[in-house]
């Protein structure tokens, strides 16, 4: 949009929307929604695991604004409902005139389609058909990656027929720029472990600062997936783990491997680091105490990323206790259940300006 130009993005106010989370954490996502709007009414969608239809007292735009400032942990993606249709044929799916009129022709757009149930149509086919309608009618530029405005489409096939929900929002309102918060990466032939995807997603979601030549500490590094990603981002890596690293990393001069436990390495009074990572499999509270002990070795403007393994029971209690432990050493604490997390969440820690951490209500 040109400087001084007034946005024409004016979607109708709606109190209907769809929320997405990992199916195993949908109950906690619903608690986050209820904390933000106690009057919210939920419609379960058993045919669509991880998806819930919400009718809230607060508008979608109001909730989205609040969550932009203080993102929820378990609610991964939200999108408004402006059209709700029962369809006989998917070919009949079109954007109505009110929704087309709300699209800003000066802002880039993308169509993001998800489907649930048995459907012969592919998401990209729906995306292409609706994108063509927008470009022909409104003239907005199509930009699949990092669009400014998003048309969200959810298709649900069930015993009662085919249902479609459509909505228009700014990409920033949806909590994630990926459809449903499903953040996918292409597999690198040199990939060492699937854990690499967790770090790649965390770097994007939290905008982790990675200055060229920065000093990074990778605790529990073996087999070395996170260390490899750090090297690809130009970091000088200190890898700490009693186990061996993948043989492809052993001759990398940018990786110094200490075959010690994290506790033993800490006792040696390590130096200062711009970034500290921790993906160790241990009790979350013990891991938090360890990170707090390493905090003095983080540069003043440094950052840390750690995964927190949550037990099947008392998940919120463990999470609150962990955040309390970390809060004493790291004023800035953000937590998100990323797409590549399983029974864990990812925490982003900074020693910068204090800010409230994500809600754990």
Give catalytic residues, as residue numbers. 309
What is the rounded distance in angstroms from the CA atom of residue 296 to the CA atom of residue 290? 11
Beta bridge partners, 273, equal 298
CA angle 9, 52, 174 (to 5 degrees): 30
Classify the phi-psi angles of 267: left when phi > 0, otherwise alpha if psi is within -120 to 50, otherwise beta: alpha
Q: Which two tokens stand for residue 182?
A: 């499903």
What is the rounded distance in angstroms from the CA atom of residue 159 to the CA atom of residue 323? 44
Q: Are 239 and 216 in contact (CB under 8 A)?
A: no
What is the rounded distance in angstroms from the CA atom of residue 106 to the CA atom of residue 138? 9
Q: Which residues contact 165 (CB under 8 A, 6 or more apart)?
A: 18, 53, 81, 83, 84, 85, 152, 153, 154, 156
Nearest to 192 by CA among 220, 226, 218, 216: 226
Q: Which two tokens stand for residue 128?
A: 């292409």
Q: Which residues contact 33 (CB under 8 A, 6 or more apart)?
A: 19, 40, 42, 52, 54, 56, 72, 75
Q: Would you mind telling me the total number of residues written for the chain in this entry?
A: 361
Q: Which two tokens stand for residue 271?
A: 């130096």
Q: Are 236 and 216 in contact (CB under 8 A)?
A: yes
């Amino acid at each position: 949009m040109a400087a001084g130009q007034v946005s024409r993005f004016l979607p109708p106010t709606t109190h209907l929307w769809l929320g997405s989370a990992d199916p195993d954490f949908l109950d906690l996502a619903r608690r986050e929604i209820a904390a933000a709007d106690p009057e919210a009414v939920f419609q379960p969608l058993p045919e669509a695991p991880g998806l819930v239809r919400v009718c809230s007292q607060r508008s979608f735009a109001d909730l989205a604004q609040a969550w932009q400032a203080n993102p929820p942990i378990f609610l991964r993606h939200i999108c408004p409902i402006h059209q709700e249709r029962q369809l006989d044929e998917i070919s009949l799916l079109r954007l109505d005139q009110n929704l087309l009129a709300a699209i800003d022709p000066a802002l880039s757009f993308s169509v993001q389609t998800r489907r649930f149930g048995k459907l012969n149509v592919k998401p990209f086919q729906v995306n292409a058909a609706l994108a063509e309608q927008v470009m022909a009618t409104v003239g907005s530029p199509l930009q699949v990656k990092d669009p400014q405005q998003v048309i969200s489409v959810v298709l649900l096939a069930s015993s009662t027929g085919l249902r479609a929900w459509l909505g228009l929002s700014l990409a920033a309102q949806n909590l994630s720029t990926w459809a449903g918060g499903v953040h996918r990466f292409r597999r690198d032939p040199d990939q060492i472990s699937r854990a690499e995807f967790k770090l790649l997603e965390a770097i994007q979601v939290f905008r982790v600062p990675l200055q060229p030549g920065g000093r990074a500490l990778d605790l529990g590094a073996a087999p070395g997936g996170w260390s490899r990603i750090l090297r690809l981002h130009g970091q000088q890596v200190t890898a700490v783990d009693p186990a061996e690293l993948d043989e492809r990393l052993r001759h990398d001069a940018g990786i110094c491997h200490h075959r010690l436990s994290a506790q033993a390495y800490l006792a040696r009074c390590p130096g200062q680091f711009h970034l500290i990572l921790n993906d160790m499999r241990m009790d979350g509270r013990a891991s938090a105490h360890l990170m707090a002990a390493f905090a003095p070795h983080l540069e003043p403007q440094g950052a840390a990323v750690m995964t927190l393994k949550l037990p099947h029971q008392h998940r919120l209690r463990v999470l609150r206790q962990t955040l309390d432990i970390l809060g004493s050493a790291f004023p800035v604490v953000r937590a998100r259940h990323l797409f590549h997390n399983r029974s864990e969440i990812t925490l982003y820690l900074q020693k910068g300006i204090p800010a409230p951490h994500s809600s754990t209500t």
